[in-house]
Structure 1
């Protein structure tokens, strides 16, 4: 567990393999709410050490799936903390009908943690139904797959080549090429990104790669300049 700011931590999980070939690092974000309860985004697979670290912070109240792909830890953590409520992205239930969800995080949903954590469901994409979050007390934007900055160290030559090709390698990474190519409604997606850039934040947590402490808004704006024209 790594502290990232005021009442916010990250925990790296086990690598997973995309298409059973390409290794992806995983990371979950833990926020302690004013209630003392915990809000966990994109939970990784639990193990004794991770569970001990989480339990030391407080009771788990909310488990959040930020898109329909990031589901790997929801069931295991729900089994460990059955009182926790599950919140999910708009298309999550369609892909995971076996997981009970408190609510789908469309843009008209007011969650009980909204005074501390804002959310924006990204509209206009044909495949990715991602929800982006703002942890207000620490000024941290939390993005899952929309921005990726994979570390090149330890990667195979194949994976390094793929990361360079799709624009997600290292600290200069950004929005993956495959995401750029699968937009259904460019104007709708642009409105979503402009709404996010209107938030007050200086830090960035992402699920895959290098996070940013300080100057994150400028970097996020750069990453989406191809869409916003900024």
Structure 2
């Protein structure tokens, strides 16, 4: 395990090396620009990290590692997508990115000292207390909010990779028979459960992709009559099998008879087993995605993460998924583009998704903007 003190020395060495490469005129200008930007960004958030090499405690070490991982992934993606550049220059970007990801995987997230001893980072993202949660999510959290007739959302928060906390959202449908369907369930809350049961019995839990299933188990314990529906391939993933989560049936594009005739399913397929099941509610013209759109508001992100979030296109109003997910979906470009065209053909009035501010109006137009990376 690389201690944080050594990691700090590596950080500034890497930043200097990237800057030196950016000044190397033997490399193409486009590649030099990527390297220069990466070096400057790396140095800036390293100085703002609450660890031994930091100057000000703006972000925690866990957040620093998340930015390292994002930067490494961005270098790899740049190397893969800059097809007009020489192969050796592209290989350099990919190699640097993979090396950075390896350092992240081997690094400790627990500094022994730092300029702020973690207090600022805890206040920003390290706590799930009400004040901290309100700055990240969309309060009131874990409460039912009406959207349209028989359509509701529940805003909450979740822990993501490397200790980063993100806003997350569940969508609730009341079906024609009065039963409730919970799409991408968020963390369980007793008051929320009671609130839901007052408007209808919870009969269906939906895990719509390979990520949004981790809160299922506790909902299953309290909703014993509910059937759990899963995106194709989810049950085959090792983490899911080890978790003990029960998956009753796999979804396809044929809507289960138990859901009535008000919903439509569209599958978006990517590489590496990625599947996302989009759900359209005909009576309200509401489209529900999960991770195929992300629309984080910069004001709800730590300042050190805002630049990379904008660069990745996941902030409002761009609303795109992050680069790694775009790359995964592009493995099945033709099928995914066809699915995206079918989503737009539905002309949704609103589009709800898991992370960030959802599209409350002009849904089709805003979705077209978010999917431009796939549709061209």
TM-score (norm 1): 0.92
Q: 1:114 to 1:33 in 2, by over 3 A?
A: closer
- What SS does the aligned partner of 2:205 have? strand
Query: Take 1:45 and 1:21, find their aligned partners in 2: how far apart are those partners?
Result: 16
Question: For 2:197 and 2:256, how far apart are their aligned partners in 1?
Answer: 27
Number of the residue aligned with 1:61: 203
1:7 corresponds to 2:154: no
Deviation string 1:40-99 (CA, Å, 9 cap, x unpaired) is 001111112211221121100100001111112211111101110000101211122333
Partner of 1:128: 274
How far apart are residue 108 of structure 1 and its match? Answer: 4.7
SS of 1:75 mapped into structure 2: helix
What is the aligned length?
228
Which secondary structure state, in structure 2, belongs to the residue aligned with residue 195 of structure 1? helix
Aligned to 1:33: 175
Shift in Å, 1:109: 5.8
Q: 8 Å contact 1:67–1:131 — kept in the other structure? A: yes
Report if aligned partners of 1:105, 1:121 keep a CA contact under 8 Å in 2: no
* Structure with higher strand content: 1
Q: 1:114 to 1:89 in 2, by over 3 A?
A: farther
Cα pair distance change 1:162/1:16, threshold 3 Å: farther
- CA distance in structure 1 between the partners assigned to 2:260 and 2:372 by the alignment: 28
Structure 2 CA distance for partners of 1:37 and 1:109, relative to 1, 3 Å: closer
**Greater RCO (CA < 8 Å, at least 6 residues apart):** 1
Task: Check if 1:78 corresponds to 2:220.
Answer: yes
Structure 1: segments with no counterpart, 5+ residues: none
C-alpha deviation, 1:100, in angstroms: 2.6
Counterparts of 1:106-121 in structure 2, within 5 Å, are 106-108=252-254, 110-113=256-259, 115-121=261-267
Give the CA RMSD over aligned residues: 1.7
Assess if the C-alpha contact under 8 Å between 2:217 and 2:246 holds in 1.
no
CA shift at 1:32, angstroms? 0.5
Name the TM-score, length of structure 2 as normaliser: 0.58
Q: Greater shift after overlay, 158-167 or 35-44?
A: 158-167
Shift of 1:193: 1.1
> Is 1:177 the equivalent of 2:326?
no
Contact 1:125 1:189 in 2 (8 A): no
In the TM superposition, what is the alpha-carbon distance from 1:131 to its structure 2 partner? 0.8
> Does the residue aligned with 2:335 lie in a helix, a strand or coil?
helix
Q: Quote the residue 1:210 is aligned against.
A: 357
Structure 2 residues without counterparts, runs of 5 or longer: 1-143
